[in-house]
Amino acid sequence: MGGDIKEFVGTLRAIVDEAKFNVEPDGIQVRAVDPANVAMDDGVLSAGAFESYDASEGVLGLNLERLEGVLKLAKKNDLVELSFDTNTFKLVIYIDGVEFTMACIDPDSIRSEPEIPDMDLPASFTVDESQIRRGVKAADMVSDHIQIRCDETEQAVFIEAQGDTDDVSLELTEEEYTELTAVDAEALFSLDYVKDISRKFPKNAAISITFGTDFPMMIEYEFADGECEILSMIAPRIRSN
């Protein structure tokens, strides 16, 4: 379990430093938006991801940086025990003989959770995380922006970037998709956000991306045998051409 909760917290850390954890009987739900309102994460870690889980409803405000630091002490298969002391308002984390007592943050002091807008995003595809990361790495050599483009005629998706002097283009070929709904669409994103988020993709995860021309992009994947689901949303940048 150490690995899963580390992954969950690491994902959120890509965009925020502190977050509200909504603890519910069937799992933990977190929604967080970055300070610039460009990226949002909505993650669920189900009770099934835990060896044992027993919780009543509540909201914890947590410093993710400190929590991530503590979880680093856990090896992949170490059990991580979390409990909340309702008297002291402290989270107690127990990892293989080490007991951490961590102060919580007042949830009201954390930015309130955004609504996920209702959007009609026509294009979508699912590829292995390595393809996205490859496209991001290539884009990073020439530009601060990255474009996702879907071509209905070619039935293909392109990850592209245009620099001042150099360009780069990665065509996702048919054998790389596990799913493709090809509709003409293109959208530009700030590379920094896409980099931060894609860096946290679990190894070999199937990444589903849904997007539309100049609309936000939705990035979905799961891990921990499906017990953890992540939805990341990134707002588009205005294309200048």
Q: Can you tell me the distance from the alpha carbon of 84 to that of 97, in angstroms, rounded to the nearest whole number? A: 18
83 binding its own copies? (CB under 8 A): no
**Spatial CA neighbour of 233 closest among 64, 62, 37, 35:** 37
Candidates 79-87, 94-102, 203-211, 231-239; binding stretch for its own copies (CB under 8 A): 94-102
CA 179 to centroid of chain Cα atoms: 20
Instruction: Decide whether 29 or 63 has the Cβ nearer to its own copies.
Output: 63
Instruction: Decide whether 113 or 171 has the Cβ nearer to its own copies.
Output: 171
User: At its nearest, how many Å lie between its own copies and the CB of residue 90?
Assistant: 8
Instruction: Decide whether 53 or 158 has the Cβ nearer to its own copies.
Output: 158
The DSSP line for 23-92 is: EETTEEEEEEE-TTSSEEEEEEEEGGGSSS----SEEEEEEHHHHHHHHTTS-TT--EEEEEETTTTEEE
Q: What are φ and ψ of residue 114, in 5° steps? A: -80, 160
Q: Can you tell me the distance from the alpha carbon of 130 to that of 134, in angstroms, rounded to the nearest whole number? A: 6
User: At its nearest, how many Å lie between its own copies and the CB of residue 176?
Assistant: 8
Among the listed residues 17, 78, 100, 205, the single contact to its own copies using CB under 8 A: 100
Angle at 198 between CA 181 and CA 80, to 5 degrees: 120
> Which residues are 20's β-sheet partners?
61
168 binding its own copies? (CB under 8 A): yes
99 binding its own copies? (CB under 8 A): yes
| H runs (alpha helix) in the chain | 2-13, 64-71, 129-140, 191-199
Candidates 30-38, 112-120, 166-174, 191-199; binding stretch for its own copies (CB under 8 A): 166-174
Contact pattern from residue 189 through residue 228 relative to its own copies, giving x for each residue in contact according to CB under 8 A and a dash for the rest: ----------------------------------------
User: At its nearest, how many Å lie between its own copies and the CB of residue 195?
Assistant: 15
Answer yes or no: are the C-beta atoms of 90 and 103 closer than 8 Å: yes
Q: What are φ and ψ of residue 154, in 5° steps? A: -80, -10
133 binding its own copies? (CB under 8 A): no
* Number of amino acids touching its own copies (CB under 8 A): 26
138 binding its own copies? (CB under 8 A): yes
129 binding its own copies? (CB under 8 A): no
Residues that bind its own copies (CB under 8 A): 66, 69-70, 73, 97-103, 134-135, 137-138, 141-142, 165-173
